[in-house]
C-alpha cells in the first residue's frame, strides 16, 4: 500500500483517540513553568464534579482550546489550567440521594463518614467529565489538574477567610437570608432564581385595639402574619394622619402590635397599610431594625411552623397558609382576595421555593472589594468582550450587596472559626487553634457551616497556581491572558474572581474576559433535562466526529448571539471535514516522499493566485482569532478551503499535476500544492485538531505533531515576491469567463461532456493579452475545444453571448442553439441591467450627490454606469441580431 493512499472518506473514530493519546504521551499540552517564550494562560471554568458534559461545556471548552492551540502554534508558552469544582450543594445532593436509595440519611451516617462517602463517590465518578473533555480534544495541562477541595486550594481558602475576617471584610450576624428547606441551607441572593408566579393578594383587616375599625393590609404570604410585630403606614399618608389608635390586635394571635410610620411604605399600594414581619421579609427586617421591633420567627428551618405560631405550630408552611386563611375568613377578617402575579424565589439547586428567613450567617462585606473591581474594568486593566457586557458588570457591581457565604451543609470547606465554650467569643485561624484568643480557654468548638462553593472558585486563577506560595507558575502566568465563560456565571464567578484577585494578588486575574453565548436547541429554547430537548455532545461526537462538532460550534459562535444547535448543522460541517480530507487525499496522490522547496519561480497564474489568497486568509484568520471572532475565522477558512482551494485551485492545476504541461510545471504546482495544504492544515488545526493531525502525518516531509508547527507569520507570507494585484485581477478575469461559459451551458442545457467553442472579443489590448496567455487554463476549466481572442467584430451565427469585465463571450452553439431560449435569456439579463442602470443614473442625476459625495465614490458610480451601459449595448446588439434572424 502506498504510504499516501488513505481511505476514501474520513472516519473520525479511527483516529481521534489515537491522536489524543499521542499528544498526552508526548506532553504536548504541558506548560513550562518558566521559559523565554511569551506566556499565555487560561484557567478553565471548573465544571462540577457531579456534572456530565453538556453543550455549554462543549462550546466553552472548544473556544478555549481554539485559543490555546492557536497561541501554541504562534510560539507562546501556553498554560491551560484544568480542574473541577466540588460543587457543595449539588454534590451533597447527589450523594444524599444515593444514601436515600439505601434507606439512609446523612444524619444517620454522621458527618465524617458522609464526607468520606462523598470522596469515594468522587473517586468513582468524578472523572467522567474530565474524560469527556478529552474526547472534545481539550489540550489542558492535565498534570496540573486541580480540585477545589485539594489541600493546596483549601489552604488558600482558609488564608483568604482569615485575612478577610481580620480586615473586617468578613463578619457574622443575624440577618434575613434565603433559606432552602429542601437543601437545608442558606443561599446567597444570586442563588435564588425568581419566577413569575400567579398567586393571590390577600387583604386582611387588623382591628384597632380597643376601638372600632382597623387597618387593612395586603400580603401574598398570609402565614407570615403570625410573626407580625407591627403595622406600618407612610408618615405622610393623609388617610392615617389623624389616627387615634396607635396599635392593632394581630388576628389569630391576639397580640397587640404597634402602628408605626415609615417612609418605606408605598402609599399607592393597596390601602397603604403594611404588615411588618421582621423575621421573614428582608424589607420588614430593615423596618424592624429602624423601629426596634422584635423579630418573631414563625417558620422554622425545616419548613414547619414554630412554637411561636401558637395554634399553628408544627404545621407545614403551605398547609398553614390554608389554615390561616380559613381562620381569618371565619372571623370575617379576610376582606378581599385578588389574583396577583409576583416573583417567587426558587432554589437554583433543587427548585424548592425559598423563604426569606432570619438566621445567623457569615457574610463578606463586598462594597470595598467591588469598588476596585469596577475600577479595573473602567481603566481597561481587564477587558470584557463583547464590550456591552461591561455595563451589566458595572450595574451589578455598583449595586452589590453583602454576600452570604455560609452554608449549612457538610461537603465543602469548613469555616475556620471556633467558638469558645467559656467566653463565647470567636477565634478565627488558619490552623486549628489550641486555645481561645480572648480568654485562653481550651474548650473550642469549630463552626459546623461550610463555605459557599463560589468562595473557593473565586480564588481559582491564583489558588490553582500555588498561592499563597509565590510560585514560578504565578510569576509566569498571573494575570491570566483570557477567561472564556458564559454570561450566566458573570456574577457568580467572574465578578468574584475579580474582587478576590485584585484584593489578594494586587492585580486583576485576567486581561480579557470573553463572554460567549448560550447553546440552545434548534427552536431557540434553553436546553433542559425537564424539557427533554437536550442534545448530548457525546452523542454528536459519536455520530459526526469531534472535529465536525467543534467546527460547528466555532462557526456559530458569533459574538452576542445564542447558538441554536441541531444535528443537521453538524452534519453539514462533517461534509466540510470530508471535503478537506479528500482534497488532501487528492493532493497526496501528486506528492513525492519529501517536502518540496518553497517555489519562487515559474509560478503559474493559479499558483500565484492561491499563494496570494493564502497569505490574505492567513492574516484574516489571525486577526479574527486575536479579536475573538471565532465564527469569522471559521467561516473564512471554510470559504477558502472549499470554494477557492478546492473549487478553483485544484481544478485549475490538474493539467499541471498530471504532467500535461511538462515536468517543470508539474514540479512547481506540486510544490505550491504542498505548501498551501501545509498552511491550510496549520490554520485549521486549532478548530479541527484531529483530522489535521491525521493529515499532517500523511503530508510528506513533516515531523512530529502538527501541534509543533508554526502558525504562518505575515512577514513570511507565501505571496512574497508575487504581484498580488496582477494575480488577483488575472484570475478574476479567468474565473469570470469560465463562469460565463458555464452559465450559458447550464441555461442552454448543454451537456457538460460536450466540448465547446468560444470566441472572446475585447478592444482592450491588455485584457486580450491576459486572455491569450491563460487561454489553455480557461479551456480546461470551461471544457472547450477551441478558444480564440479577437477584437470586437462580426458575430458568428448561432452563438449564445455573455459580457463579463468588458469581454464579450461568444459560445458557438451551431445546431444546438435554441433561439427562443437565447432571446429569453438575453431579455432577462438586459432587464436586470436596466434596473441596476436606472439606480445608478438616478444617483448621477442628483446634484447633491455629485457635489457632496467623495470623489472616489462618484468616480466609482460613473465607472459602473459606463460598464453597465457598455454591457447592455453589447447584449442588446446580439439580441436584435438574433431576433432579426429568427424572423427570417
Subset of residues 790 to 849 that bind RNA, contact rule: CB under 7 A: 828, 836, 839, 846, 848-849
Q: Which is nearer to RNA, 707 or 787 (CB)?
A: 787
Whether residue 492 contacts residue 502, with contact meaning beta carbons closer than 8 Å, is answered with no
CA 828 to chain CA centroid, Å, is 46
As measured in angstroms, the least distance from the Cβ of 8 to RNA is: 5
* Contacts of RNA in 461-520 (CB under 7 A): 488, 491
**At closest approach, how far in Å is the CB of 436 from RNA?**
37
Quick one: which of 227, 272, 278, 775 contacts RNA (CB under 7 A)?
A: 272
Query: Do 411 and 86 meet the contact criterion of CB atoms below 8 Å apart?
Result: yes
Shortest distance (Å) from residue 677 CB to RNA: 11
Helix axes 151-166, 496-505, angle to 10 degrees: 80
Restricting to residues 7-36, name those near RNA by CB under 7 A: 8-10
Beta strands in 557-712 (DSSP E): 563-564
Residue among 4, 30, 582, 841 that touches RNA (CB under 7 A): 582
- Residues in binding contact with RNA, number by CB under 7 A: 99
Identify which of residues 171 and 269 has a Cβ nearer to RNA in the complex. Answer: 269
Q: Is 568 in the site for RNA (CB under 7 A)?
A: yes
Q: Do residues 355 and 317 make contact, with C-beta atoms less than 8 angstroms apart?
A: yes
Other beta carbons less than 10 A from residue 334's beta carbon? 19
270 binds RNA per the rule CB under 7 A: yes
Residue 195, phi then psi, degrees to nearest 5: -135, 135
Nearer Cβ to RNA, position 31 or 577?
A: 577
Q: Is 194 in the site for RNA (CB under 7 A)?
A: yes
Calpha distance 348→351 (Å, rounded): 6
Q: Does 225 bind RNA (CB under 7 A)?
A: no
Q: Which three cell numbers stand for residue 677?
A: 495544504
The one among 440, 662, 746, 791 contacting RNA by CB under 7 A: 746
* List 116, 375, 860, 866, residue binding RNA (CB under 7 A): 860
By beta-carbon proximity to RNA, the closer residue of 155 and 654 is 654
Residue 184: Cβ within 10 Å count: 15
Cα–Cα distance measured from residue 114 to residue 123, given in angstroms and rounded to the nearest whole number: 14
Contact 801, 795 (CB under 8 A): yes
Residue number, 597 or 651, with CB nearest to RNA:
651
The alpha carbon of residue 80 and the mean position of all alpha carbons in its chain are separated, in whole angstroms, by: 17
How open is the CA angle 450-297-237, to the nearest 5 degrees?
A: 120
Q: Which 51-110 positions form the footprint of RNA (CB under 7 A)?
A: none
- Minimum gap (Å) between residue 333 Cβ and RNA: 16
Residue 529 in grid coordinates: 433535562
Among 337, 313, 314, 304, smallest CA distance to 252 is for 313
Interacting span for RNA (CB under 7 A) from 3-11, 15-23, 475-483, 607-615: 3-11
Cell of 758: 468560444
- Nearest to RNA of 31, 253 (CB atom): 253
**Closest to RNA by CB, 265 or 681:** 265
Piece of 88-96, 166-174, 291-299, 859-867 that binds RNA (CB under 7 A): 859-867
Residue 43 CA to residue 483 CA, distance in Å, equals 7
Q: Give least dist CB 63 to RNA, A.
A: 15
Q: Which is nearer to RNA, 224 or 464 (CB)?
A: 224
Output 79 or 833, the one with its CB closest to RNA. Answer: 833
| Minimum distance from residue 184 beta carbon to RNA (Å) | 22
Q: Least distance (Å) from RNA to the CB of residue 357?
A: 14
Question: Under the criterion CB under 7 A, does residue 152 sit at the interface with RNA?
Answer: no
Question: Can you name the residues that pair with 341 across neighbouring β-strands?
Answer: 198
Task: Compute the distance between CA of residue 388 and CA of residue 586 in angstroms, rounded to an integer.
Answer: 46
Asked if 806 and 736 touch (Cβ cutoff 8 Å), the reply is: no
**Number of CB atoms found within 10 A of residue 783's CB:** 16
Chain positions 649 to 708 lying near RNA, rule: CB under 7 A, are 650-651, 654
**Applying CB under 7 A, does 604 fall inside the site for RNA?**
no
**Coil, strand, or helix at residue 457?**
helix
Taking the complex as a whole, the smallest distance from the CB of residue 39 to RNA amounts, in Å, to 27
Q: Does 317 participate in binding RNA (rule CB under 7 A)?
A: no
796 vs 822: CA distance, rounded Å: 14
Does 429 interact with RNA (rule: CB under 7 A)?
no
Report 358-397 residues binding RNA (CB under 7 A).
388, 391-392, 395-396
Amino acid at each position: 500500500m502506498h504510504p499516501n493512499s488513505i481511505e476514501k472518506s474520513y472516519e473520525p473514530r479511527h483516529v481521534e483517540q489515537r491522536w489524543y493519546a499521542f499528544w498526552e504521551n508526548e506532553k504536548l499540552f504541558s506548560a513550562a513553568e518558566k521559559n523565554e517564550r511569551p506566556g499565555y494562560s487560561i484557567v478553565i471554568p471548573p465544571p462540577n464534579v457531579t456534572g456530565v458534559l453538556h453543550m455549554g461545556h462543549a462550546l466553552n471548552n472548544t473556544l478555549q482550546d481554539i485559543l490555546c492551540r492557536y497561541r501554541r502554534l504562534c510560539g507562546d508558552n501556553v498554560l491551560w489550567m484544568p480542574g473541577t469544582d466540588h460543587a457543595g450543594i449539588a454534590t451533597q445532593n447527589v450523594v444524599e440521594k444515593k444514601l436515600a436509595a439505601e434507606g439512609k440519611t446523612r444524619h444517620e451516617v454522621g458527618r465524617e463518614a458522609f464526607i468520606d462517602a462523598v470522596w469515594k463517590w468522587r473517586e468513582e465518578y468524578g472523572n467522567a467529565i474530565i474524560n469527556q473533555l478529552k474526547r472534545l480534544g481539550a489540550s489542558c495541562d492535565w498534570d496540573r489538574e486541580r480540585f477545589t477541595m485539594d489541600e493546596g486550594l483549601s489552604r488558600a481558602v482558609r488564608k483568604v477567610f482569615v485575612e478577610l475576617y481580620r480586615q473586617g471584610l468578613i463578619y457574622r450576624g443575624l440577618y434575613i437570608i434565603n433559606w432552602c428547606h429542601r437543601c437545608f441551607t442558606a443561599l446567597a441572593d444570586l442563588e435564588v432564581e425568581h419566577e413569575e408566579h400567579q398567586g393571590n393578594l390577600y387583604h386582611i383587616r387588623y382591628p384597632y385595639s380597643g376601638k372600632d375599625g382597623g387597618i387593612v393590609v395586603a400580603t401574598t404570604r398570609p402565614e407570615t402574619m403570625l410573626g407580625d410585630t407591627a403595622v406600618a403606614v407612610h408618615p405622610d399618608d393623609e388617610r392615617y394622619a389623624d389616627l387615634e389608635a396607635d396599635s392593632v390586635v394581630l388576628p389569630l394571635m391576639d397580640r397587640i402590635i404597634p402602628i408605626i410610620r415609615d417612609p418605606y411604605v408605598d402609599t399607592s399600594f393597596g390601602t397603604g397599610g403594611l404588615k411588618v414581619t421582621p423575621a421573614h421579609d428582608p424589607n420588614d427586617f430593615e423596618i424592624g431594625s429602624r423601629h426596634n421591633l422584635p423579630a418573631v420567627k414563625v417558620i422554622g428551618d425545616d419548613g414547619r411552623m414554630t412554637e411561636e405560631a401558637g395554634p399553628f405550630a408544627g404545621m407545614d408552611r403551605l398547609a398553614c397558609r390554608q389554615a390561616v386563611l380559613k381562620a381569618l375568613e371565619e372571623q370575617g377578617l379576610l376582606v378581599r382576595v385578588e389574583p396577583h402575579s409576583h416573583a417567587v424565589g426558587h432554589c437554583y439547586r433543587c427548585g424548592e421555593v425559598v423563604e426569606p428567613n432570619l438566621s445567623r450567617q457569615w457574610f463578606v462585606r463586598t462594597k470595598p472589594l467591588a469598588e476596585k473591581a469596577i475600577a479595573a474594568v473602567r481603566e481597561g486593566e481587564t477587558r470584557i468582550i463583547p464590550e456591552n457586557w461591561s455595563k451589566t458588570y458595572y450595574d451589578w457591581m455598583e449595586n452589590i450587596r453583602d454576600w452570604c457565604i455560609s452554608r449549612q451543609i457538610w461537603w465543602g470547606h469548613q469555616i475556620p472559626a471556633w467558638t469558645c465554650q467559656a467566653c463565647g467569643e470567636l477565634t478565627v485561624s488558619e490552623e486549628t487553634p489550641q486555645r481561645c484568643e480572648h480568654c485562653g480557654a481550651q474548650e473550642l468548638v469549630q463552626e459546623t457551616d461550610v463555605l459557599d462553593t463560589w468562595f473557593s472558585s473565586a480564588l481559582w486563577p491564583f489558588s490553582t497556581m500555588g498561592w499563597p506560595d509565590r510560585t514560578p507558575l504565578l510569576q509566569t502566568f498571573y494575570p491570566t491572558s483570557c477567561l472564556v465563560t458564559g454570561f450566566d456565571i458573570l456574577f457568580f464567578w467572574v465578578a468574584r474572581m475579580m474582587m478576590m484577585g485584585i484584593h489578594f494578588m494586587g492585580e486583576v486575574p485576567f486581561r480579557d474576559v470573553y463572554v460567549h453565548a448560550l447553546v440552545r436547541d434548534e427552536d431557540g429554547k434553553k436546553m433542559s433535562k425537564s424539557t427533554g430537548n437536550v442534545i448530548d455532545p457525546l452523542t454528536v461526537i459519536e455520530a459526526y466526529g469531534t472535529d465536525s462538532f467543534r467546527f460547528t460550534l466555532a462557526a456559530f459562535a458569533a459574538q452576542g448571539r445564542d447558538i441554536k444547535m441541531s444535528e443537521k448543522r453538524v452534519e453539514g460541517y462533517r461534509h466540510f471535514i470530508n471535503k478537506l480530507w479528500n482534497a488532501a487525499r487528492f493532493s497526496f496522490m501528486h506528492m513525492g516522499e519529501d517536502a518540496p522547496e518553497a517555489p519562487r519561480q515559474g509560478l503559474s497564474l493559479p499558483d500565484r493566485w492561491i499563494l496570494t489568497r493564502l497569505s490574505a486568509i492567513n492574516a484574516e484568520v489571525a486577526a479574527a482569532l486575536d479579536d475573538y471572532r471565532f465564527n469569522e475565522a471559521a467561516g473564512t477558512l471554510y470559504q477558502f478551503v472549499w470554494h477557492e482551494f478546492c473549487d478553483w485551485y485544484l481544478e485549475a492545476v490538474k493539467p499541471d499535476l498530471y504532467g500535461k504541461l511538462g515536468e517543470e510545471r508539474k514540479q512547481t504546482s506540486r510544490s505550491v500544492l504542498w505548501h498551501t495544504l501545509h498552511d491550510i492544515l496549520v490554520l485549521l488545526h486549532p478548530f479541527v485538531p484531529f483530522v489535521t493531525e491525521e493529515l499532517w502525518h500523511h503530508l510528506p516531509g513533516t515531523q512530529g505533531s502538527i501541534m509543533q508547527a508554526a502558525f504562518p507569520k505575515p512577514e513570511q507570507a507565501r505571496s512574497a515576491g508575487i504581484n498580488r494585484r496582477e494575480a488577483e485581477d488575472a484570475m478574476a478575469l479567468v474565473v469570470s469567463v469560465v463562469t460565463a461559459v458555464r452559465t450559458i451551458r447550464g441555461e442552454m442545457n448543454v451537456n457538460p461532456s460536450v466540448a465547446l467553442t468560444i470566441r472572446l472579443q475585447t478592444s482592450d489590448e491588455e485584457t486580450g493579452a491576459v486572455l491569450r496567455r491563460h487561454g489553455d487554463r480557461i479551456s480546461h476549466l470551461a471544457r472547450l475545444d477551441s478558444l480564440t481572442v479577437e477584437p470586437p467584430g462580426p458575430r458568428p451565427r448561432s452563438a449564445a453571448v455573455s459580457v463579463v469585465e468588458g469581454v464579450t463571450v461568444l459560445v458557438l452553439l451551431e445546431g444546438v442553439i435554441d433561439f427562443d431560449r437565447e432571446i429569453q435569456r438575453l431579455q432577462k439579463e438586459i432587464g436586470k441591467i436596466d434596473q441596476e442602470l436606472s439606480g445608478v443614473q438616478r444617483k448621477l442625476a442628483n446634484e447633491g450627490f455629485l457635489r457632496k459625495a467623495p470623489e472616489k465614490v462618484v468616480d466609482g458610480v460613473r465607472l459602473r454606469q459606463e460598464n453597465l451601459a457598455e454591457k447592455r449595448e453589447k447584449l442588446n446588439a446580439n439580441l436584435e441580431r438574433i431576433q432579426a434572424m429568427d424572423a427570417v
